[in-house]
Structure 1
Amino acid sequence: MTTETPNHDLARRMAELARTVASPRRVDDVLSDVTAEVMNLIPGVAAAGVLFVGKEGGFESVAGTSELPHRLDELQMKYREGPCLDAATHELVVRSDDFRTEQRWPHYAPAAVELGVLSGLSFKLYTSSRTAGALNLFATEADAFDANAETIGTILAAHAAAAIMASRTTEQLESALTTRDRIGQAKGIIMERYNITDVAAFDMLRRLSQDGNVKLAEVAQRVIDTRGE
């Protein structure tokens, strides 16, 4: 009987996650799988979650393995400081070995200690023009995380980032197809209504868009809405 080594077990789990990311699933489901694997693969993790931060100041706390990550995210957004925020917006990896002596976040660190959290480890997921994200691990013991935890966490964060980017690409593609369909419908309505060619109908839409400083897709939708009037 063959016993799996830790490295073999890690490789197997990573392969399973890779297949998960490649499959057409909701991003929230993939992120929940990632945070669950964090609990399995990294010793000492008491809770894990993902924080998304909007450029306008809003935030979303998702895939938490308990309520604790959400409470910690709320504290960071309240004080506008903390390891998860730093990882999402600036650093690739942010680690704190003991929040009781942490100087980087004078408001957040004591609040985290009050919740029983002494260590933290956060990984940047991605940063776009509108949103930044981080995968976050929390422990109730000091010095809970080491270099091996950083390595495993970095790999898991890469899987999560791949799922997010794949979802964004799919959403953009679906949006582009929807826009194309709207423009096509609007052109057909204009061609029939004014007995003009395809090229002339599109030129009319384009000029309406420019004159009104309105997106072409919105102009097309307005034309569609006039059908039957």
Structure 2
Amino acid sequence: MRETAPRLDEFTRLTRALAAAPDESTRLQLAVDSTVSLVTSCDHAGLTVNQRGGVLTRVGSDDVVQRANELQSELGEGPCLDVTRDQDTLVIPDLATARRYPTWAQRVHTELGVGSMMSLLVYTDQHSYGALSLYADIGRRFDADDLASAQAVAGHLAVTLSAGREIEHLSIAMHNRLTIGRAQGILMSTLDIDADAAFDYLRRMSMESNRKVVDLAEEIARTRALPPRP
């Protein structure tokens, strides 16, 4: 077992760097690049997502991950297509002799010089975001310590993506509330009604016109006029 203290220090530095990063894309790239240094046997890493039956590289350390994922999409087989909540970690110790995904494994081994791979689901209790894919060049294999470090990085990625979605949703909700509030103010002044009646007006118009309340509110706030009745 490798010494844990230096590894913990490295993860602490990663946590601080992620907190200081300006946006989600920067945080994801930082986490994936750190995977190569934090996971001893890892030479290439990437965050991948399933998209319409194929695999998309959201962010990667280099072109090896991109090409390996392209092959999964082209061949219709590969670990990132199969990693699910029921099997959240998949390790292929020797791609040259792999019985699972034989065509994809052989192509990755011969074309990209990869000997071993590991894929871990990136998820929280509420949502699955994709998979962290790690590749080791020929002559190297992932061991138990590598798996533990990779799981820690996958956890960092899950927190990063979850936080980003929460911030995005909060921003949208705040924008919508402000927009509706402005529209209510205009309706209160124009129709000489109170706030509750103004919201009821918006809701009624939404049902009659089959439009979202916030869309009507944006129109009222922009034009400062009542929308035409359907």
On whether the aligned pair clears a TM of 0.5, the verdict is yes
| CA shift for structure 1 position 68 | 1.1
Aligned partner of 2:108 in structure 1 is: 112
| CA pair 98-30 structure 1, distance change in 2 beyond 3 A | same
| CA shift for structure 1 position 59 | 5.2
Amino acid at match of 1:62: R
**2:83–2:121 Cα contact (<8 Å) kept:** yes
| CA pair 116-88 structure 1, distance change in 2 beyond 3 A | farther
What CA distance in whole angstroms lies between the structure 1 residues aligned with 2:27 and 2:213?
A: 35
Identity of aligned residues (%): 31
SS at match of 1:144: coil
Aligned partner of 1:91 in structure 2 is: 87
| CA pair 163-129 structure 1, distance change in 2 beyond 3 A | closer
What CA distance in whole angstroms lies between the structure 1 residues aligned with 2:84 and 2:211?
A: 34
Match of 1:187 among 172, 184, 188: 184
| CA pair 53-69 structure 1, distance change in 2 beyond 3 A | same
What CA distance in whole angstroms lies between the structure 2 residues aligned with 1:38 and 1:223?
A: 50
Point out where structure 2 has 5 or more consecutive residues left out of the alignment.
none
| CA shift for structure 1 position 130 | 8.3
What CA distance in whole angstroms lies between the structure 2 residues aligned with 1:131 and 1:80?
A: 21
Point out where structure 1 has 5 or more consecutive residues left out of the alignment.
none
Aligned partner of 2:172 in structure 1 is: 175
Amino acid at match of 2:121: K
- TM-score under structure 1 normalisation? 0.86
Match of 1:30 among 27, 31, 36: 27
What CA distance in whole angstroms lies between the structure 2 residues aligned with 1:23 and 1:215?
A: 37
| Structure with larger RCO (C-alpha < 8 A, sep 6+) | 1
Task: Tell me the C-alpha RMSD between the 2 structures.
Answer: 2.5
What CA distance in whole angstroms lies between the structure 2 residues aligned with 1:23 and 1:183?
A: 33
Match of 2:58 among 56, 59, 62: 62
Alignment deviations for residues 56-104 of structure 1 (CA, whole Å, 9 cap, x no partner): 5575413311111111122222333312232366521111011222222
For this pair of structures, how many residues does the alignment match?
224
| CA shift for structure 1 position 20 | 3.0
Is 1:157 the counterpart of 2:130? The answer is no
Decide which moves more: 31-40 or 178-187: 31-40
| CA pair 80-130 structure 1, distance change in 2 beyond 3 A | farther
| CA pair 60-188 structure 1, distance change in 2 beyond 3 A | farther
Amino acid at match of 1:210: M
SS at match of 2:118: strand
Q: Where does structure 1 differ by over 4 angstroms across 4 or more consecutive aligned residues?
A: 56-59, 127-131
**1:135–1:157 Cα contact (<8 Å) kept:** yes
